[in-house]
């Protein structure tokens, strides 16, 4: 949690930290993080309900499609 690699960050258009980020109390880098645990994100898109989805490529057919939720850990590096 000391860097933003493998994390989904959420900022305002002007680059400031989003007020509702779940790790804001843990420090300035952590304040940027919306959710951790991404291995190899390939793309994001919003659905008709305004929800953010992310797709990533995993090893040996381990591709995932994730609904991005506040503070959720999407596994990497905890799961391989």
Give per-residue pLDDT as tens, 1-60: 889 888 999 999 999 999 999 999 999 999 999 999 988 889 999 999 999 999 998 777
**DSSP string for 3-22:** S-TTEEE-B-TTSPBPTT-T
Quick one: 6 exposed, middle or buried, by C-beta within 10 A (0-12, 13-18, 19+)?
middle
Q: What predicted TM-score, i.e. pTM, was given to this entire model?
A: 0.84
What per-residue confidence (pLDDT) applies to 23? 96
Quick one: 46 exposed, middle or buried, by C-beta within 10 A (0-12, 13-18, 19+)?
exposed
Q: Quick check: 44 and 54 in contact, CB under 8 A? A: yes
């Amino acid at each position: 949690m000391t860097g933003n690699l493998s994390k989904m960050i959420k900022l305002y258009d002007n680059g400031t930290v989003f007020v509702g980020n779940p790790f804001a109390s843990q420090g300035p880098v952590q304040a940027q993080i919306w959710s951790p645990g991404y291995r190899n994100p390939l793309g994001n898109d919003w659905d008709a309900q305004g929800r953010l989805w992310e797709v990533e490529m995993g090893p040996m057919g381990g591709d995932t499609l994730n609904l991005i939720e506040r503070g959720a850990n999407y596994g990497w590096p905890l799961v391989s």
